Amino acid sequence: MQSIFYPAYAGGELHPEAEAILSRIAAGNFQPLHAMSPADARKAFLLPEWLGKPRANVSVTRAHAGDVPIRIYSPDAKCPEPVLVFFHGGGFVLGTLDEFEPFCTFLAADARCIVVSVGYRLAPEWPFPAALDDAWAATRWVAAHAASFGGDATRLAVAGDSAGGNLAAGVSLLARDQGSPKLLHQTLICPWVDLSPAAEAAESFHLFGQGLWLSAAGLGWFRRHYLRNLDQSSIPLVSPLRSPDFLGLPPALVLTAEFDILADQGRSYGECLRGAGVSVTRAHYSGMLHDFVTLPGLFSPAWDAIGEITAALRGAFDQE
């Protein structure tokens, strides 16, 4: 059944909640992302009602990992607890610790782990490699200081959504190449792991690139702000899918959405990991839009995805 929003695609059907939000956007005559300034886009990024209500049984501590602001989410649980380092999405340009606080409380409560959310520097004020430098510095800080906030550094994982999935993949590459810290797992949610022009040949780019949610023009806007020049897009730490070597990376859960311009990137990254002998669980959600998982107030299937993510994390942490 073809969608009025994605007429090139007849392979599936939008979830009614996805159809409703796209209809609302179309009727509202909103300014597209690529026509906005970063400052204006940040003001309009996420509505509070989309995020869901934070869990009350999770304590929140504001701190710094060196110079990088972080938030530590601790469940009511026995210490020491495993630790998940989380990198939020937003195309390296948008997103705040506040906006992703509800999602982090869901992860902490349901995975029974401490979540450290990283407030990395944003482009265009801070282009590549600032975000990755902050992500890597925060991960190393967590590994060194986990005991100070009740964490167990021997049970450490990373996670991220969209651009945050890129950072989680990049940190996993760095940890492997430098030999520490040991990461037990990586959770990649609708990851943007290829910023190169070659990615535009993917079928999902063709099918969903003209949509009202995340579009090809929107991705181009993010990329222009993040990279100093297009040549940087071929660097593996910019585009982890372009890495020449996937051996020795941590086991992964790669979650994708059907109506997502980045769906093929997530699928391809999972295949590269599996081809290198890495244990990979693929989760694909029919009818859903990009990054629906972090917005359970808008998309009810997000709760199923959160359940799948937290179950995978519990399994990874329990192996130690």
Dihedral, 215, 169, 18, 36 alpha carbons, nearest 10: -40
162 is an active site residue: yes
Active-site hit among 15, 88, 225, 290: 290
Active-site hit among 3, 74, 117, 162: 162
- How far apart CA 6 and CA 207 sit, in angstroms, is 7
157 forms beta bridges with 84, 185
Burial zone of 320 (CB within 10 Å; 0-12 exposed, 13-18 middle, 19+ buried)? exposed
Query: What value, to the nearest 5°, has the Cα angle with vertex 262 and ends 259 and 264?
Result: 90
Instruction: List all residues 6 or more positions away from 29 whose beta carbon is below 8 Å from its beta carbon.
Output: none
Of 141, 198, 143, 191, the residue nearest 167 (C-alpha): 191
Residue appearing with tokens 């599996």: 274
Q: List the alpha helices (DSSP H) in the chain.
A: 16-28, 38-43, 48-51, 101-111, 130-145, 163-178, 203-208, 216-226, 263-275, 301-318
289 forms beta bridges with 259
Active-site hit among 110, 194, 260, 264: 260
- Quick one: tokens of 148? 């100070």
Amino acid identity at 146:
A
- How far apart CA 278 and CA 237 sit, in angstroms, is 19
260 is an active site residue: yes
Helix (H) or strand (E) holding 160: strand 151-161
The count of other CB atoms within 10 Å of the CB of residue 49 is 10
Q: In what order do the strands lie in the sheet with 114-118?
A: 58-65, 68-75, 114-118, 81-87, 151-161, 185-189, 252-259, 280-289
- Among all residues, which ones are annotated catalytic? 162, 260, 290
